[in-house]
A and B are shown apart, each in its own frame.
Chain A
Amino acid sequence: MSEHHHSPADPSIRAKALESLLAEKGLVSSLAIDEVVRKYEEDIGPLNGAKVVARAWVDSEYKTRLLTDGTSAVAELVGYNDDHSAELVVVENTKEVHNIIVCTLCSCYPWSVLGLPPSWYKDHAYRSRVVVEPRSVLEEFGLHLSRDIDVRVWDSVSELRYMVLPERPNGTDGMTETELAALVTRDSMIGVAKVEMPPSQQ
């Protein structure tokens, strides 16, 4: 027998029991569950954030709108694709300032632009350490910042969510908005990495 029976305490069993009860009582829509899962697996992810970043790099008026009212500026490009009880604030990395986002109390994250967070963002190690030793944390991600850079950690514990606008790398002057967007990584919009040129183009 290849398939074993699960214990009733197993999360997979308990989730089925819970969904069945809620469905039978008319309290959840199974179709709505299917749809939100599909959206976060297929539609809503860091590509949205990358589009926003690339536009801000090529269009200074858009960048101003983005830094002033992140929620509206993101909606211009990707629509209101998430629960907007949370407003989005975009913080800009410069030569002098490096921003990083975290949520020490749970795992608040800018879903509308980055999708669902990576595991490490939700783990105790990142949440406990990045507010007190951000430079050591960045070193573990392979990012070395010089001593004179002002490191700002945004602990997003209220109803606002944060995204980092990374610096545009040197040597990208001739690139199109689409090419630029392809350079932008999720980690650079959390603030644990910089945007780099691919080795072939350096």
Chain B
Amino acid sequence: MASGVHDIGGLQGFGVIDSKDDETIFHAEWERRVFGMMITSGHRMISMRPDIENIDPETYLKSSYYELWLIALETGLVDRGVISQEELTSRAVDFVEPASAPSRNDDPGLTDEVLKRRYSQRSKRYSGTPRFKPGDRVLVHSEQKARHTRVPRYVRGKLGLVQSVRGVYELIDLKVEGVSVPEPVYSIRFDARELWGERKEGNGSVCIDLWDSYLEAQL
């Protein structure tokens, strides 16, 4: 499978970086609510990144950050049958008057559960035996089969050096399909010349954490 439009590392043409920053975290009340809905419901109801990646390329490129979150919530929840598009459309009519407030659910039990899950502890650890050790050379598979994966296009088919074993994590490609396959994750360092060829920028490298099954040994 090729890459989606979200996989933009190394693409040209996006221009200069607008580093001006007013340090405002949210620019509208709806951004606060969309952020909160995603954060507090994320683990149970939706899978945020795949839902964002499913947004069509044109919409993806022209939408603001929290618009993408809102679209991902809407389409993810509709796809999973949690709500229907008809419900969303008909409910929206109730709010064309800007002063009208949304319904609330102030159930203390659910509130506790959500906040405890998010803020109380480190998550579950997995164990597993790493196939590679620091100093090993590895090749990233050039073909990626999963619908959702975390191998950026620009490292596919490239040679890297294992720097460290980061731990064992559920392979995200399958976790988003509801299947738990814990695998070692490695920090892999790629020389800039391996990724981009000889460049005027000179020395440097990119380091990425990759799951075991993205890699093959290179002797």
Collect the chain A residues with CB atoms within 8 Å of residue B118's CB: 36, 82-83
Contacting pair A30 B41 (CB below 8 A): no
Contacting pair A35 B37 (CB below 8 A): no
The residue of chain A having its C-beta at the shortest distance from the C-beta of B196 within the complex is A132
* Majority DSSP secondary structure for residues of B touching A: mixed
Q: Which of A4-12, A48-56, A163-171 contacts B (4 or more CB under 8 A)?
A: A4-12
Tell whether A61 is near chain B: CB-to-CB under 8 Å. no
Tell whether B150 is near chain A: CB-to-CB under 8 Å. yes
Given contacts A8-B92, A140-B19, contact A29 B8 (CB under 8 A): no
Collect the chain A residues with CB atoms within 8 Å of residue B104's CB: 23, 30
Collect the chain A residues with CB atoms within 8 Å of residue B41's CB: 22, 27-28
The residue of chain B having its C-beta at the shortest distance from the C-beta of A30 within the complex is B104
Contacting pair B23 A118 (CB below 8 A): yes
Binary contact track A140-176/B, C-beta < 8 Å → 1, others 0:
1100000110111111111110000000000000000
* A133 CA to B195 CA, complexed, in Å: 12
B169 CB, nearest partner CB in chain A, Å? 5
Which of B174-219 touch A at CB < 8 Å? 185, 187, 189, 195-196, 199, 201-211
* A127 CA to B105 CA, complexed, in Å: 37
Tell whether B36 is near chain A: CB-to-CB under 8 Å. yes
Contacting pair A12 B30 (CB below 8 A): yes
B205 CB, nearest partner CB in chain A, Å? 5
Given contacts A15-B30, A106-B6, A152-B205, contact A140 B16 (CB under 8 A): yes
> Which one of A105, A124, A137 lies within 8 Å of B150 (CB-CB)?
A105
Collect the chain B residues with CB atoms within 8 Å of residue A71's CB: 122
Contacting pair A32 B110 (CB below 8 A): yes
Most buried by A among B102, B120, B123: B102
The residue of chain A having its C-beta at the shortest distance from the C-beta of B29 within the complex is A12
Tell whether A85 is near chain B: CB-to-CB under 8 Å. yes
Collect the chain A residues with CB atoms within 8 Å of residue B167's CB: 87
Contacting pair A157 B209 (CB below 8 A): yes
Contacting pair A150 B205 (CB below 8 A): yes
Contacting pair B204 A150 (CB below 8 A): yes
The residue of chain A having its C-beta at the shortest distance from the C-beta of B118 within the complex is A83
Most buried by B among A5, A26, A119, A134: A119
Contacting pair A125 B16 (CB below 8 A): yes
Closest 6 CB pairs of A and B: A104-B9, A33-B36, A23-B105, A17-B91, A30-B104, A15-B30
Binding site for A on B (CB under 8 A): 6-12, 14-21, 23, 25-26, 28-30, 32-37, 39-41, 45, 49, 52, 61, 65-67, 70, 73-74, 77, 82-83, 87-89, 91-108, 110-111, 114-115, 118-123, 150-152, 154, 166-167, 169, 172, 185, 187, 189, 195-196, 199, 201-211
A-B contact pairs, 23 of them (CB 8 A): A12-B30, A16-B33, A16-B101, A17-B92, A18-B37, A22-B83, A22-B105, A23-B105, A27-B82, A31-B111, A33-B40, A34-B36, A37-B33, A41-B25, A71-B122, A80-B119, A84-B123, A120-B20, A152-B206, A154-B208, A158-B150, A158-B172, A158-B209
